[in-house]
């Protein structure tokens, strides 16, 4: 094999313990230098944020309140992507800050006391988990926790929490009988460490107690930064949730709980967690088939779609027909969250089984929606709701309604990336990252990375000029100031994607580990650019921008090792692999484009790092 190809067979590299060796010089591409600098800037900005807004106990500097508008989920969501940033190659301080902030958050909100709702009269948390809430909000608050295992799979506190939290939905805690194993359903929209809410919610459950003072409210019609007297504005907050009261029965949001069990399985290997996920998601698959491919937004305690509404499967809080009068905005509002839990739920079942039938469920639901599309004023409109258009005042009509230009392209992108079916790609605009992968926007990487620098700069400037104090800001105020930018890095480096939804798992084609530092993320001088994804291959350019020192990197097939590399090729020279990882050595200033042939969803997913791994092949 000519040396100019810059690659040697593994048999010639026993001393280096590398599968591939890259020696060909490569001028550092702009995207590689931008990636590395963006990781540094991200880390530095997060340190600045932490120093300004978190105290020595790990407490967030704000006025804590119970509620879904500005409560515990918003406070901890402030750090939502810091653990992901570390796994992408950010500084170790990110993981240290997250651990301290999460412990501090649990302690800070355990001290909270409410009068108007029983849910937090003895604290917002019990056994470190929310007492009762809906999974739209519970999931938001757990986003960074969901991804901590990417970097921290041996952390005993993480493992204990993940397994305990997953057990809340497997009836392992007698104080929290959230699950009905006979009918395979979660009993309420409101669940947690105190069990399911088997009554109607109250507006105080949603909003909490008022607190005296003037605050910069984020959730209000006046917009971010407007100071309002909370005691005066409090009736408006109650009016916002006046119709959010139905709670009993299962809801697709509850499929977000599968993220806990899937992580527990990947941390421990205990099959009970996998078995529960498959059991629960299969029940939802059957219910969806029974309603013509539409994912029902209420399942009664009898196990029947729409069981709490006389068979009207589209009813329920946050359901297909959740059209209400919002007394805060003083207008009709339609708020349907059918997809927020369904997409991660069915995707987790795919991750654990490799069965594309789970993605077929999501595709059929989108087919049903797209079958109703119409054109108005040169725009394609899709219905966002189903049922009685009056919603809040039922007249017996059932139809698709509330047509908007929201074409749900983020969800269609997820379906395509899970299926890699070109027919799914046909529904997605070929622009941005997808356009780049299709060879239509070659400048996308550099432009997208540069835009992330501007976002960091703007957030740091907002921190610098922030007029608020802990006594004038609530939990939600800091959400928009989190400086960490991870979407572009996830796309370009890993071939991964996060939709606009907020219940997270890392669905990516690749991931990297630094074998010298024994940590997640690439070596500091590695640039990585995924430029091609197919059903059985991935193309990626790897470059060592350091002109002095060689580096080694472990490339993993999939975010959780769920895929299997079959071979790797450079310039037509192919090396057989047949395993979920490859070790690549790059000489100083060297780089090359590699193409990995692979079988997707061939392995059981795991959070174990390569040097600790006993790979389990999927039967």
Q: Is 115 exposed, middle or buried (0-12, 13-18, 19+ CB in 10 A)?
A: exposed
pLDDT exceeds 50 at position 8: no
Q: Which pLDDT band, with edges at 50, 70 and 90, does 224 fall under?
A: low
Q: What is the pLDDT of residue 503?
A: 74
User: What's the average model confidence in pLDDT over 516-542?
Assistant: 98
The residue among 256, 281, 250, 272 whose CA lies nearest residue 171 is 272
- Entry field: residues in the chain: 619
Q: What is the pLDDT of residue 11?
A: 33
Q: Which pLDDT band, with edges at 50, 70 and 90, does 480 fall under?
A: confident
Q: What is the pLDDT of residue 367?
A: 98
Q: Is residue 540 within 8 Å of residue 576, measured between CB atoms?
A: no
- Structural domains present in the chain: 3-28+509-612 (2.60.40.1180)
pLDDT exceeds 50 at position 212: yes
pLDDT exceeds 60 at position 82: yes
pLDDT exceeds 90 at position 92: yes
User: What's the average model confidence in pLDDT over 362-369?
Assistant: 98
Question: What average pLDDT does the structure give for the chain?
Answer: 94
Q: Compute and round to an integer the Cα radius of gyration of the chain.
A: 25
* Secondary structure element (H or E) that encloses residue 459, with its range: helix 444-464
Q: What is the pLDDT of residue 393?
A: 77
Q: Which pLDDT band, with edges at 50, 70 and 90, does 218 fall under?
A: confident
* Secondary structure element (H or E) that encloses residue 228, with its range: strand 227-229
User: What's the average model confidence in pLDDT over 360-372?
Assistant: 98
Q: Which residue has the tokens 């097939």?
A: 557
User: What's the average model confidence in pLDDT over 464-486?
Assistant: 93
Q: How far apart are CA 475 and CA 62, in angstroms?
A: 6
Q: How far apart are CA 231 and CA 212, in angstroms?
A: 6
Q: Which pLDDT band, with edges at 50, 70 and 90, does 613 fall under?
A: confident
Q: Percent helix, strand and coil across the chain, each rounded to 5?
A: 40, 20, 40
User: What's the average model confidence in pLDDT over 102-110?
Assistant: 98
Q: Which pLDDT band, with edges at 50, 70 and 90, does 225 fall under?
A: low
CA 515 from centroid of its chain's CA atoms: 27
Q: Is 160 exposed, middle or buried (0-12, 13-18, 19+ CB in 10 A)?
A: exposed
Q: Which pLDDT band, with edges at 50, 70 and 90, does 500 fall under?
A: confident
Beta partners for residue 133, in sequence order:
191
Q: Which two tokens stand for residue 306?
A: 């729409």
The mean-pLDDT minimum among 234-238, 302-306, 358-362 falls in 234-238
Q: How far apart are CA 345 and CA 505, in angstroms?
A: 10
Q: How far apart are CA 59 and CA 107, in angstroms?
A: 8
pLDDT exceeds 60 at position 604: yes
Contacts of residue 502, Cβ cutoff 8 Å, sequence gap at least 6: 80, 139, 140, 143, 340
Q: Could you report the per-residue pLDDT of 46-58, keeping only the tens digit for each?
A: 999 999 999 999 9
Q: Is residue 524 within 8 Å of residue 549, measured between CB atoms?
A: no
Q: Which pLDDT band, with edges at 50, 70 and 90, does 340 fall under?
A: very high
* Secondary structure element (H or E) that encloses residue 126, with its range: strand 125-126
The residue among 384, 289, 404, 428 whose CA lies nearest residue 346 is 289
Q: How far apart are CA 519 and CA 460, in angstroms?
A: 28
The residue among 433, 469, 573 whose CA lies nearest residue 31 is 433
């Amino acid at each position: 094999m000519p040396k100019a190809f810059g690659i040697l067979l593994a048999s010639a590299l026993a001393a280096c313990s590398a599968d591939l060796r890259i020696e060909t010089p490569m001028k550092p591409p702009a995207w590689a230098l931008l990636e590395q600098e963006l990781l540094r800037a991200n880390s530095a900005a997060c340190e600045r944020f932490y120093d300004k807004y978190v105290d020595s106990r790990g407490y967030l500097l704000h006025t804590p309140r119970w509620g879904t508008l500005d409560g515990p989920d918003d406070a901890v969501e402030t750090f939502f992507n810091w653990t992901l940033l570390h796994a992408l190659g950010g500084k170790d301080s990110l993981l240290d800050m997250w651990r301290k902030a999460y412990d501090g958050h649990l302690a800070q909100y355990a001290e909270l006391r409410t009068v108007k709702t029983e849910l937090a009269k003895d604290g917002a948390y019990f056994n470190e988990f929310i007492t009762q809430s809906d999974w739209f909000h519970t999931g938001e608050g757990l986003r960074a926790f969901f991804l901590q295992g990417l970097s921290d799979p041996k952390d005993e506190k993480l493992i204990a929490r993940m397994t305990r939290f997953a057990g809340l939905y497997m009836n392992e805690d007698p104080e929290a009988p959230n699950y009905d194993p006979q009918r395979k359903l979660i009993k309420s929209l409101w669940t947690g460490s105190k069990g399911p809410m088997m009554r109607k919610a109250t507006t105080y459950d949603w909003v909490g107690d008022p607190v005296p003072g003037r605050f910069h409210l984020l959730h209000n019609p006046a917009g971010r930064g407007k100071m309002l007297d909370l005691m005066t504005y409090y009736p408006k907050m109650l009016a916002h949730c006046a119709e959010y009261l139905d709670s009993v029965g299962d809801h697709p949001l509850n499929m977000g709980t599968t993220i806990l069990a899937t992580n527990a399985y990947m941390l421990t290997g205990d099959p009970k967690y996998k078995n529960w996920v498959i059991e629960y998601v299969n029940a939802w698959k059957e219910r969806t088939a029974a309603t013509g491919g539409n994912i029902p937004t209420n399942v009664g305690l009898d196990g029947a779609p729409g069981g709490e509404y006389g068979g009207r499967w589209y009813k329920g809080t946050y359901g297909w027909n959740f059209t209400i009068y919002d007394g805060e905005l003083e207008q009709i509002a339609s708020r349907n969250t059918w997809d927020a839990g369904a997409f991660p739920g069915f995707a987790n079942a795919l991750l654990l089984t490799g069965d594309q039938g789970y993605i077929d469920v999501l595709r059929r639901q989108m087919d049903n929606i797209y079958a109703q599309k119409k054109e108005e004023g040169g725009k394609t409109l899709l219905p966002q709701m189903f049922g009685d258009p009056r919603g809040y005042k039922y007249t017996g009509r059932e139809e698709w309604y509330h047509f908007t230009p929201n074409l749900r392209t983020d969800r269609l992108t997820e379906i395509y990336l899970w299926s890699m079916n070109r027919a799914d790609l046909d529904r997605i605009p070929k622009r941005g990252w997808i356009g780049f992968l299709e060879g239509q926007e070659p400048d996308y990487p550099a432009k997208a990375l540069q835009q992330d620098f501007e976002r960091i700069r703007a957030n740091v400037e907002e921190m610098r000029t922030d007029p608020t104090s802990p006594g004038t800001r609530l939990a939600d105020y800091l959400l928009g100031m989190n400086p960490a930018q991870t979407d572009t890095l996830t796309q370009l480096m890993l071939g991964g994607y996060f939709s606009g939804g907020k219940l997270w798992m890392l669905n990516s084609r690749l991931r990297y580990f630094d074998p010298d530092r024994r940590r997640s993320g690439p070596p500091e001088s590695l640039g990585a650019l995924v430029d091609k994804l197919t059903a059985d291959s991935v193309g990626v350019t790897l470059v060592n921008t350091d002109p002095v020192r060689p580096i080694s990197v472990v490339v993993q097939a999939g975010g959780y090792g769920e895929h299997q590399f079959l071979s790797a090729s450079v310039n037509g020279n192919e090396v057989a692999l047949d395993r979920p990882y490859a070790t690549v050595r790059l000489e100083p200033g060297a780089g090359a484009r590699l193409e990995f042939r692979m079988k997707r969803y061939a392995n059981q997913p795991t959070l174990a790092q390569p040097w600790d791994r006993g790979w389990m092949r999927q039967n």
